[in-house]
Structure 1
Amino acid sequence: MTLHHLVEGPASAAPLLLGPSLGTSYALWDKVAPELSVSHRVVRWDLPGHGGSPAGLIGPGATVGDLAGLVLALADSLGIERFAYAGVSLGGAVGLHLAVHHPERLDALAVICSSAHFNGAAPWRERAERVRREGVGPLAESAPARWFAGDFTVPELVRAHREADPEAYAACCDALAAFDLTDRLPEIGVRTLLVAGREDPATPPAHLRQIADAVPDATLVEIPGASHLAPAQCPQAVLAALRAHFDGVPRRGMEVRREVLGDAYVDRAQARQTPFTARFQDFVSLCAWGEIWTDPTLTRRERSMITLTALVAGGHHDELALHVRAARRNGLTVEEIGAVLLQCAVYCGVPAANSAFAVAQRVLAEEPGEPGEPGED
């Protein structure tokens, strides 16, 4: 038996495993996983007795190490040797255990609304006893208040809590009761991101700060308005943090984009980004800036000249203005830009070049000491 799971994204992409919180299912990642699967082979899994995972995978006295073993068995069954990992709460604890005990399997780690300890063993032992005695129903009724800030809720996750197997749920509580990696945190060598929900009462930001302070070179992100299940309540903020952490090429692409186009332009573009345009922005960062503009075969000066020519040919005047500025930033002189546009007059047509000269003249006039009157055909 293996953990119930869902695989999304290209089979050839870098693997990314996503772990859930106690009482939820892999639906916790519904608003995040599809976007991550654009650039990763995403595998999200259910805890034993939750969602579709068999309850018999763990029993009384279970540990986080047992759960980590199930995750590794799942990865093995899918032919995944090394992977990036992100987990929420108990799922985050699994990630910390993997980073300490199985670092050879991890490429990168994100720990979300979790802790190196969960406020001692007693509360979790009491919860385990209560669930074994009364079932999970009473806890499910209070779940929204523990999980979300304000009036926000996700009925599907509350239903998953109500439908969780009591014995498996209690065994997960046993695992949380026994979990404490506080003294082992400095041993973690994998690149680590901590994400805290500022409104989280279960694992408040101080718990994530403790991990960030102990793990070498860890990064901490706090999300305003997020409670314990941040991927469900604030998916765009979580998605942005995970992309920046896991997507090495897009991150480098964003650096190059800023170097060529300037911070002001990129900041405006990012501010205008919406869920509708987010994947396009990622595509631009990944392909145009993360792969083409970083290819050392051509210099940035040469790429600017090619780009100017293509934009003149296509009549893309707004983009042309942007890349005239970029060409100057990449070291082209005013005379060289003029020579490129003159070349375009021969091969793209005089009317196209005339419009391009007007655009370029307007842009160059913004630079001190440059000519300010557009030429005429």
Structure 2
Amino acid sequence: MRYQVTGPADAPLLVLGPSLGTTTHVWDPQLGELARSWRVLRWDLPGHGGAPAAEGPFTVEDLARAVLELADEERFAAGGVSLGAAVAATAAVLAPERVTDLVLCCTAARFGDPEPWRERAARVRVEGMGGPAGMIAARWFTPDAAAEVIEPVRSRLLDVHPESYALACEALAVFDLRDRLPGITARTLVIAGDRDPATPVECAETLAGGIPGAGLAVVPDAAHLAGVERAAEVSALMNRFLGHGRGLKVRREVLGDAHVDRARAAATGFTADFQDLITRYAWGEIWARPGLDRRTRSCVTLTALVAGGHLEELAMHVRAALRNGLTPDEIKEVLLQAAIYCGVPAANAAFAVAQRVLAEPE
């Protein structure tokens, strides 16, 4: 696969795929904000954007397996538009332990009847990309879209390798993920355009209804390439859902994947902004600062929690202190220090919590 990586080298990985007929540039409107705290890997379909042409037939599952091989992190977030989103969803089915977050934009679990896709493939093989380009671009944007928005995407469509495009059409003709949607365990956001003729809102509702816990957002006045035509709206949805990437990585390193996954899965419309707040500022700003190492930050945090009597948080941060390299004896010393400066009753309760946590299985 041809791909591009943008963003901090130490940030968590976000893998994004394009729609059929587009390239990595389809994500340009979202890249600037996402790449501030994610390492964004964008890939191209065969024969698109300078990627090598397909050497023979392939399936959406073949593409998903290639993406899983391409991802150089054990756990990563994934997303895509249309075919790219179908690839991301399939990767989440094939490797649920690896895909943590999923953004599915203007896509479907099944892209309609197979025959129109086969007819399009046959037409492209005869006429090249110039023949159906007008019809395809008309489905990508609403009639109100500005020419300066449409033209750069349409011009790249004309450069696509016709046989590779045709083979991708045939892959979409046989794609059907409907029965496998319950196997997706990643946090999922489904985004739809309310004027999308290619994958109408009903397709998004099928995805959101079949993937456990998935959320659905409908972007007004948007067709198939909602992220291009309504860039600000889609960017805001993605940024809120994905949160601050660097903060999320630090939070996972300190608290552990299981705790963070539970906290994020439990977030509701009422609490989502608070989860974003602590991920962005507590973990992405304060815990990520270089002035103190994590062992020291754990000592400070334990003391503050004892002083405040926040025993539930204290249990979580005793576990975090162990992950940050403190020994049980060092945790004991911190609590003894807190007994003098925070009070014996507070330290008494803290010792009970810490002892219970230290007795937990590894």
> Among 64, 67, 70, which residue is 2:66 paired with?
70
SS at match of 2:120: helix
The aligned residue for residue 333 of structure 2 is none
The aligned residue for residue 129 of structure 1 is 122
The aligned residue for residue 89 of structure 1 is 82
Task: Verify: 1:59 aligned to 2:50, yes or no.
Answer: no
Question: What is the Cα-based RMSD across aligned positions, in Å?
Answer: 3.0
Judged with a 3 Å threshold, the aligned counterparts in structure 2 of structure 1 residues 218 and 256 are, in CA distance, closer, same or farther, namely: closer
The aligned residue for residue 167 of structure 1 is 163
Judged with a 3 Å threshold, the aligned counterparts in structure 2 of structure 1 residues 156 and 10 are, in CA distance, closer, same or farther, namely: same
The aligned residue for residue 145 of structure 1 is 138
One-letter amino acid of the structure 1 residue matched with residue 113 of structure 2:
G
Query: Is the 1:50–1:164 contact (alpha carbons within 8 Å) kept by the matching residues of 2?
Result: yes
* Aligned-partner Cα distance in 2 for 1:239–1:202: 21
The aligned residue for residue 15 of structure 2 is 17
Query: Is the 2:67–2:91 contact (alpha carbons within 8 Å) kept by the matching residues of 1?
Result: no
SS at match of 2:69: helix
> Among 113, 118, 122, which residue is 2:106 paired with?
113
> Among 174, 178, 181, which residue is 2:177 paired with?
181
The structural deviation recorded for 1:101 is: 1.5
SS at match of 1:103: coil
* Aligned-partner Cα distance in 1 for 2:150–2:70: 27
Judged with a 3 Å threshold, the aligned counterparts in structure 2 of structure 1 residues 290 and 12 are, in CA distance, closer, same or farther, namely: closer
User: Deviation digits for residues 81-123 of structure 1, max 9, x if unmatched?
Assistant: 3210010000011011111112222111111000000002111
The structural deviation recorded for 1:137 is: 0.8
SS at match of 2:29: coil
Q: How does 1:1-377 map to 2 (within 5 A)?
A: 3-56=1-54, 58-60=55-57, 62-75=58-71, 79-152=72-145, 153-247=149-243, 249=247, 286-287=280-281, 292=286, 297=301, 298=304
* Aligned-partner Cα distance in 1 for 2:272–2:68: 37
The structural deviation recorded for 1:52 is: 1.8
The structural deviation recorded for 1:257 is: 11
The structural deviation recorded for 1:234 is: 1.1
Question: Which stretch of the first structure deviates more once superposed, 152-161 or 162-171?
Answer: 152-161
Judged with a 3 Å threshold, the aligned counterparts in structure 2 of structure 1 residues 119 and 222 are, in CA distance, closer, same or farther, namely: same
SS at match of 1:110: strand
The structural deviation recorded for 1:291 is: 5.1
User: Deviation digits for residues 305-357 of structure 1, max 9, x if unmatched?
Assistant: xxxxxxxxxxxxxxxxxxxxxxxxxxxxxxxxxxxxxxxxxxxxxxxxxxxxx
* Aligned-partner Cα distance in 2 for 1:125–1:26: 25
Task: Give the number of equivalent residue pairs.
Answer: 272
The structural deviation recorded for 1:141 is: 2.1
The aligned residue for residue 360 of structure 2 is none
Instruction: Extract unaligned runs of 5+ from structure 1.
Output: 260-281, 303-377
* Aligned-partner Cα distance in 2 for 1:39–1:255: 24
The structural deviation recorded for 1:292 is: 4.6
SS at match of 1:193: strand
Question: Which stretch of the first structure deviates more once superposed, 79-88 or 27-36?
Answer: 79-88
* Aligned-partner Cα distance in 2 for 1:193–1:210: 13
Query: Is the 2:96–2:183 contact (alpha carbons within 8 Å) kept by the matching residues of 1?
Result: no
* Aligned-partner Cα distance in 1 for 2:225–2:94: 26
Query: Is the 2:243–2:279 contact (alpha carbons within 8 Å) kept by the matching residues of 1?
Result: no
Identity of aligned residues (%): 47
One-letter amino acid of the structure 2 residue matched with residue 233 of structure 1:
E
The aligned residue for residue 268 of structure 1 is none
One-letter amino acid of the structure 2 residue matched with residue 59 of structure 1:
G
- TM-score w.r.t. the length of structure 1 is 0.66
Judged with a 3 Å threshold, the aligned counterparts in structure 2 of structure 1 residues 289 and 99 are, in CA distance, closer, same or farther, namely: closer
* Aligned-partner Cα distance in 2 for 1:66–1:257: 35
The structural deviation recorded for 1:172 is: 0.5
SS at match of 2:136: helix
SS at match of 2:42: strand
* Aligned-partner Cα distance in 1 for 2:104–2:239: 14
One-letter amino acid of the structure 2 residue matched with residue 139 of structure 1:
P
Q: Greater Rg, structure 1 or structure 2? A: 1
SS at match of 1:137: coil
Query: Is the 1:257–1:285 contact (alpha carbons within 8 Å) kept by the matching residues of 2?
Result: no
Judged with a 3 Å threshold, the aligned counterparts in structure 2 of structure 1 residues 283 and 12 are, in CA distance, closer, same or farther, namely: farther
* Aligned-partner Cα distance in 2 for 1:55–1:200: 29
Query: Is the 2:193–2:219 contact (alpha carbons within 8 Å) kept by the matching residues of 1?
Result: yes
User: Deviation digits for residues 249-289 of structure 1, max 9, x if unmatched?
Assistant: 5899x989977xxxxxxxxxxxxxxxxxxxxxx99982369
One-letter amino acid of the structure 2 residue matched with residue 89 of structure 1:
S
Query: Is the 1:116–1:207 contact (alpha carbons within 8 Å) kept by the matching residues of 2?
Result: yes
